[in-house]
């Protein structure tokens, strides 16, 4: 049981890593990017191609891919999302959904249906483990967990303590008012999308290192990222981190109960948090409305 819990926490680190980019884009730009998983697979393929062609380490290839993904994010915002967001809240969702289909089919056309993996390019690291109090803990999952902590911690520090972070938060809160004080909201949105896509590049590399991927593997990754984001709360990056761990623990518990309960356990905890958030928010707004009416009556009575 303890071993299952430890493995679940390590798996949760990957879920948090892939979810942080989705949560960051929603937090800053209020856009649910349904192409998130497909873009992660795209980055995994680019890392694999560079590694295979140039005989680089996947970690070196990832450093090459990060600016490529940043450029893709900037272009995605300027060419697609910026225009789609002018058509209302639904249009960006439909646009990114269509983009995911295009990416998946282009990857399938170019790379075929064969699965790929980066594990063979890191040698013994793909299977080596630490022995801690009789538990065997994989080195690669530990690296991915630590990477998730560093990435999320870095984003949190960026948003809290840097001038760019303050501009991003101001733009997320009220783009029009931010423009009145000299902040270029269009520029900040492009930078935010670039940052989000860099996290996607890291998570795509992690996916390739810890398992296999194919052209249509983006949808499951999007689902895991979305569930972790809802469980942890899209407004908090550290909440997303713990949301990924909770999701992985629920999946592990489901697998212990029934051999086919791995995904069902995760879906169950996701739906539980989803309905809890819906009803708690409804009760909160109802209470605030009721308190507002009471305050108005008291003020009228005093006058």
Tokens read off for 170 = 């101001």
Buried residues in 46-64 as b, exposed as e (16+ CB within 10 A)? bbbebbeeeebebbebbee
From CA 125, how far away is CA 149, in angstroms rounded?
20
Domain of residue 249: give its range: 2-302
Domain count, the chain: 1
From CA 278, how far away is CA 295, in angstroms rounded?
26
DSSP letter (8 states) at residue 81: I
In terms of phi and psi (left: phi > 0; alpha: psi -120 to 50; beta: otherwise), the region of 212 is beta
Average pLDDT, the chain: 87
pLDDT tens sequence across 169-201? 888 877 777 777 788 888 898 999 999 999 999
Kindly report the number of other CB atoms within 10 A of residue 288's CB atom.
10
Check pLDDT > 80 for residue 32.
yes
pLDDT tens sequence across 87-102? 877 888 899 999 999 9
Distance of CA 265 to the CA centre of its chain: 20
CATH number of the domain encompassing residue 265: 1.10.3470
Confidence of residue 292 (pLDDT cuts 50, 70, 90): low
* Listed residue (194, 192, 225, 227) closest to 207, CA to CA: 225
pLDDT tens sequence across 45-88? 999 999 999 989 999 999 999 999 999 999 999 999 888 888 87
pLDDT tens sequence across 141-158? 999 999 999 999 999 999
Pair 210, 144: CB distance under 8 Å: yes
Pair 157, 32: CB distance under 8 Å: no
pLDDT, residue 282, reads 58
């Amino acid at each position: 049981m303890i071993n299952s819990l430890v493995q679940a926490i390590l798996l949760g680190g990957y879920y948090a890593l892939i979810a942080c980019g989705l949560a960051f884009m929603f937090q800053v730009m209020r856009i649910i990017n349904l192409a998130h998983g497909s873009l992660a697979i795209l980055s995994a393929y680019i890392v694999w191609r560079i590694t295979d062609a140039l005989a680089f380490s996947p970690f070196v290839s990832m450093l090459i891919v990060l600016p490529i993904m940043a450029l893709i994010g900037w272009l995605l915002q300027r060419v697609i999302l910026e225009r789609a967001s002018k058509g209302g809240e639904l249009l960006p969702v439909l646009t990114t959904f269509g983009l995911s289909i295009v990416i998946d089919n282009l990857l399938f056309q170019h790379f075929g249906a064969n699965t790929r993996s980066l594990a063979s390019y890191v040698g013994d690291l793909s299977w080596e483990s630490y022995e801690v109090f009789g538990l065997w803990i994989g080195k690669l999952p530990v690296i991915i967990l630590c990477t998730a902590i560093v990435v999320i911690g870095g984003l949190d520090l960026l948003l809290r303590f840097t001038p760019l972070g303050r501009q991003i938060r101001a733009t997320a809160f009220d783009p029009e008012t931010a423009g009145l004080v000299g902040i270029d909201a269009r520029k900040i949105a492009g930078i935010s999308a670039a940052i989000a896509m860099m996290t996607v590049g890291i998570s795509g590399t992690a996916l390739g290192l810890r398992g296999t991927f194919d052209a249509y593997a983006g949808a499951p990754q999007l689902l895991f990222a979305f569930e972790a984001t809802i469980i942890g709360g899209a407004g908090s990056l550290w909440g997303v981190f713990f949301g990924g761990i909770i999701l992985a623990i629920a999946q592990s518990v489901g697998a212990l109960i029934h051999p086919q309960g791995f995904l069902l356990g995760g879906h169950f905890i996701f739906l539980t948090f989803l309905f809890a958030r819906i009803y708690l928010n409804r009760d909160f707004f109802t209470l605030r409305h009721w308190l507002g009416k009471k305050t108005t009556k008291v003020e009228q009575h005093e006058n």
